[in-house]
């Protein structure tokens, strides 16, 4: 018997999803980690971009890193939603950050992608200070944040959208990606519940904004050599059809990129019953690809 949750408002759905994800994780022991709030990772048009940082205490060698990207239809949400998972990942041995990024309607695509890339560059540029291994950075996102995570995974340095937020000397490449319910192809028709959210993100309906829709789609950039990806997606998601995950998997298969997709039958845009398992799989995937 599947448990259905009806959300009155799509933006709230994405936010609620991220919050329940965070709430599902066990709280790390405060003594094991160092937690720093509101670290500035870049500046755009005088606006400071911030992240929260959690590190394992007593590191004796560079540790792998994880970037957490919140959801909220590119228009809402905040880095604090992933605080528990941020602390958990630090307790599990990762130098971890949860990032804020510019939001719709004030900022549309590619601002969100540029900010995500800037955060990865900042992370890598500060690797020595943070005791981070710059060759082992993973990214995890939910919903719109999952879309941004897949953009980071699929884009190569020649693909652009780096922006000018800072740390230009460092690379924005990541070594593995986990997506919870992330859209992969913005050129196709979305359901009524999310159609306008996508249009607001790319600056108009995909039919009028074909170039932007294509440039904003992770699937556009898939090529061999991309990092492994884990996609987790409900088959009754009212915002992101599961065909989006299937399409991405087909592109990854064709390019020979390793990874997994898990379709959760009957689940929507948030999976209250499956969190523990989803988190276990997430941490197993990160460990497989990032830990030595």
CATH superfamily of 10-290: Alpha/Beta hydrolase fold, catalytic domain (3.40.50.1820)
Q: Averaged over 70-83, what is the pLDDT?
A: 97
Alpha-carbon gap, residue 88 to 99, rounded angstroms: 16
pLDDT, residue 274, reads 75
**Distance spanning both ends of the chain, measured CA to CA:** 40
Which segment of 13-22, 176-185, 195-204 scores lowest on mean pLDDT? 13-22
Q: Averaged over 83-105, what is the pLDDT?
A: 97
Name the nearest CA neighbour of 257 among 282, 292, 226: 226
Residues 75, 14: contact at Cβ < 8 Å? no
Residue 25 pLDDT exceeds 70: no
Residues 261, 181: contact at Cβ < 8 Å? no
Residue 9 pLDDT exceeds 80: no
Model pLDDT for residues 133-149, shown as the tens digit of each residue: 999 999 999 999 999 99
Which segment of 1-10, 42-51, 151-160 scores lowest on mean pLDDT? 1-10
pLDDT, residue 157, reads 83
Average pLDDT over the chain, rounded to an integer: 90
Q: Averaged over 195-224, what is the pLDDT?
A: 97
Strands, E, within the chain: which ranges? 33-44, 47-56, 63-69, 95-99, 132-142, 176-180, 229-234, 259-264
Residue 261 pLDDT exceeds 70: yes
Q: What is the pTM of this model?
A: 0.91
Q: Averaged over 1-7, what is the pLDDT?
A: 39
Residue 7 pLDDT exceeds 70: no
96 versus 276: the higher-pLDDT residue is 96
Residue 178 pLDDT exceeds 70: yes
């Amino acid at each position: 018997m599947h448990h259905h949750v009806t959300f009155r408002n799509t933006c709230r759905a994405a936010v609620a999803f991220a919050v329940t994800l965070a709430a599902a994780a066990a709280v790390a022991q405060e003594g094991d980690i160092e937690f720093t709030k509101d670290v500035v990772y870049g500046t755009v048009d005088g606006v400071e971009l911030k992240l929260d940082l959690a590190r394992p205490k007593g590191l004796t060698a560079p540790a792998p890193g994880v970037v957490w990207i919140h959801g909220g239809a590119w228009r809402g949400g905040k880095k604090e939603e992933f605080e528990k998972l941020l602390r958990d990942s630090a307790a599990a041995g990762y130098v971890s950050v949860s990032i804020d990024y510019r939001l719709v309607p004030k900022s549309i695509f590619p601002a969100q992608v540029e900010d995500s890339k800037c955060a990865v560059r900042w992370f890598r540029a500060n690797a020595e200070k943070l005791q981070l291994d710059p060759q082992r950075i993973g990214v995890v996102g939910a919903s719109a944040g999952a879309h941004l995570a897949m953009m980071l995974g699929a884009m190569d340095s020649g693909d652009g959208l780096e922006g000018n937020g800072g740390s230009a000397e460092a690379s924005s490449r990541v070594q593995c990606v986990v997506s919870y319910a992330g859209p992969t192809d913005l050129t196709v028709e979305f359901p009524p519940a999310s159609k306008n959210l996508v249009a607001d993100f790319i600056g108009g309906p995909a039919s009028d904004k074909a170039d932007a829709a294509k440039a904003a789609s992770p699937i556009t950039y898939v090529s061999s050599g991309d990092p492994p990806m884990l996609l987790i997606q409900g088959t009754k998601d009212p915002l992101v059809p599961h065909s989006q995950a299937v399409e991405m998997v087909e592109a990854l298969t064709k390019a020979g990129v390793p990874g997994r997709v898990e379709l959760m039958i009957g689940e929507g845009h948030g999976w209250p019953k499956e969190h523990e398992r989803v988190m276990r799989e997430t941490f197993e995937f990160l460990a497989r690809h990032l830990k030595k």
